[in-house]
């Protein structure tokens, strides 16, 4: 799975701050035609729209059309999960187009004390049954990536991988603090391989078509679409209030794009999302556009290829993706040893997005000085860099919960 070449790329990348090229960032509040944006209306109606369209057509790719049908079904519900602390629901979501359909499964835990709870919605990498030891959680039948350490072979999940990712999901902490969790296995929307014959893409093909058009959606956009459709269910559930969309790494890129394209998400959390996520592309520190398009040719629209080693000509940079979330709460988090994701580039991106939050009287990140390690800045825009590697830890969740809590009262 591209592993050899990815490892090689990681070892050959630039991690030297003195080798970051000099660059001028396109200003988030100056339109493509050079007009200065000074208020919310101009932002919403002109600038936000043109930035969104650019990312849509030139970066992640457009969703080709609307669905014909959306449906969901409650498969299972219980009141005694987590020793009686939580209610569990498992929901099947079906998307239909052109007489074709896909079905994916959402696992939800809700704290029992709250009649309506805020939830974190996030994809998992290996199946819903991996985030918990709960024996009632169904095992995905979809293709999963092999992983020797997790005991996954033949691209199939089984009982042996139940609970292997519990350390990445602080479910009890969420429940104890009045939050719920909704999670979906991302491979049920689109298997993460360079193949457009499976997942959600083919639902939209015309006769004879076998892959999306140049400006149409890659996998990140498909995953974001899946999150957005999951929101159709979540907003209909009377036990759920606000939804904070969360994602780690490639799924952090998807969470950001979901938050940018669907304003129903009350807030967005990007955990170590890196290149094509929160990190500024122009810094060319760690992973670059050329590298990501080479290792993962299916993630972005084909139109994004023209920016390989050509970042200067991009009329946007990733701080403008972050700005699309404004004025809603946004948390970007990095890890000290995750140089591949360019922590400094992720931080600077929050700083350069913050002028848009200012238009709404919201506090963003108002300094270009990175905070100390393990010293979060938590405003409407929040940022932390923690010790450790590319991962999701209890420390990350403790901070997301504390911060999100200030927006749910
Ligand atoms: C690779 C890839 C990153 C991605 C990461 C992940 O390292 O280069 O862009 O974020 O995988 O999803 O873990």
DSSP states of 367-386? -SSPPPTT--EESSEEEEEE
CA dihedral 166, 168, 170, 171 (to 10 degrees): -50
pLDDT for 409: 77
pLDDT for 380: 99
Distance CA 289, CA 311 (A): 8
For ligand 1, pick from 8, 249, 256 the residue to mutate: most ligand atoms within 8 Å of CB.
Answer: 249
CA 33 to chain centre: 30
Among the options 161, 228, 249, 334, which is catalytic?
249
Sole residue written with tokens 């990348």: 13
Q: Which residues pair with 245 in a beta bridge?
A: 121, 268
Distance (angstroms) between ligand 1 centre and the Cα of 341 equals 8
Distance CA 185, CA 190 (A): 10
Q: Which residues pair with 91 in a beta bridge?
A: 74, 106
pLDDT for 319: 99
Distance CA 300, CA 154 (A): 27
The two three-digit tokens of residue 188, written as one number: 């049920």
Reduce the DSSP state of residue 310 to 3 states and report it: coil
CA dihedral 14, 125, 204, 289 (to 10 degrees): 0
pTM over 0.90: yes
Distance CA 108, CA 121 (A): 9
Residues framing ligand 1 (Cβ under 6 A): 249-250, 274-275, 287, 292, 295, 340
Determine the number of helices (DSSP H) and then strands (DSSP E) in the chain.
Answer: 10, 10
Q: pLDDT tens digits, the chain, 409 residues: what are they?
A: 455 689 999 999 999 999 999 999 999 999 999 999 999 999 999 999 999 999 999 999 999 999 999 999 999 999 999 999 999 999 999 999 999 999 999 999 999 988 999 999 999 999 999 999 999 999 999 999 999 999 899 999 999 999 999 999 999 999 999 999 999 999 999 999 999 999 999 999 999 999 999 999 999 999 999 999 999 999 999 999 999 999 999 999 999 999 999 999 999 999 999 999 999 999 999 999 999 999 999 999 999 999 999 999 999 999 999 999 999 999 999 999 999 999 999 999 999 999 999 999 999 999 999 999 999 999 999 999 999 999 999 999 999 999 999 999 7
Angle at 67 between CA 250 and CA 141, to 5 degrees: 55
The two three-digit tokens of residue 308, written as one number: 């390989």
pLDDT for 2: 52
Distance CA 165, CA 131 (A): 5
pLDDT for 1: 45
Stretch (H or E) spanning 54: helix 48-54
For ligand 1, pick from 4, 318, 340, 389 the residue to mutate: most ligand atoms within 8 Å of CB.
Answer: 340
Q: How many CA atoms lie within 13 A of 370 on its CB side?
A: 19
The two three-digit tokens of residue 181, written as one number: 């969790």
């Amino acid at each position: 799975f591209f592993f050899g070449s990815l490892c090689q790329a990681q070892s050959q990348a630039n991690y030297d701050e003195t080798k970051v090229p000099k660059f001028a960032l396109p200003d988030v509040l100056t339109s493509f035609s050079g007009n200065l944006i000074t208020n919310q209306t101009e932002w919403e109606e002109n600038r936000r729209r043109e930035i969104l369209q650019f990312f849509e057509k030139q970066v992640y790719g457009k969703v080709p059309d609307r669905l014909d049908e959306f449906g969901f079904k409650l498969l299972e519900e219980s009141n005694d999960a987590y020793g009686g602390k939580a209610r569990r629901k498992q929901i099947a979501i079906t998307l239909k187009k052109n007489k074709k359909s896909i079905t994916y499964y959402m696992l939800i835990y809700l704290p029992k004390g709250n009649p309506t709870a805020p939830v974190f919605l996030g994809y998992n990498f290996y199946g819903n049954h991996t985030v918990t030891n709960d024996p009632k959680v169904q095992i995905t039948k979809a293709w999963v990536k092999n992983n020797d350490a997790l005991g996954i072979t033949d691209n199939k999940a089984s009982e042996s991988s139940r609970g292997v990712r519990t350390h990445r999901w602080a479910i009890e902490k969420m429940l104890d603090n009045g939050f719920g969790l909704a999670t979906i296995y991302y491979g049920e929307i689109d298997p993460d391989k360079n193949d457009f014959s499976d997942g959600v893409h083919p639902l939209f093909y015309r006769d004879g078509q076998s892959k999306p058009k140049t400006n149409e959606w890659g996998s990140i956009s498909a995953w974001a679409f899946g999150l957005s459709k999951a929101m159709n269910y979540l907003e209909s559930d009377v036990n759920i209030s606000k939804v904070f969309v969360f994602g780690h790494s490639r799924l952090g890129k998807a969470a950001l794009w979901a938050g940018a394209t669907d304003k129903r998400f009350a807030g967005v959390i990007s955990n170590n999302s890196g290149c094509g996520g929160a990190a500024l592309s122009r810094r060319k520190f760690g992973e670059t556009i050329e590298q990501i398009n080479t290792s993962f040719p299916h993630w972005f629209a084909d139109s994004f290829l023209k920016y390989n080693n050509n970042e200067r000509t991009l009329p946007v940079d990733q701080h403008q993706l972050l700005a699309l979330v404004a004025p809603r709460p946004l948390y970007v988090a990095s890890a000290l040893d995750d140089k591949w994701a360019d922590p400094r580039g992720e931080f600077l991106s929050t700083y350069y997005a913050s002028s848009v939050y200012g238009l709404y009287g919201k506090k963003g990140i108002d300094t270009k000085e990175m905070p100390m390690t393990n010293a979060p800045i938590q405003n409407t825009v929040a940022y932390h860099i923690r010790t450790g590697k590319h991962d999701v830890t209890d420390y990350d969740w403790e901070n997301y919960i504390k911060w999100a809590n200030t927006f749910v009262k």
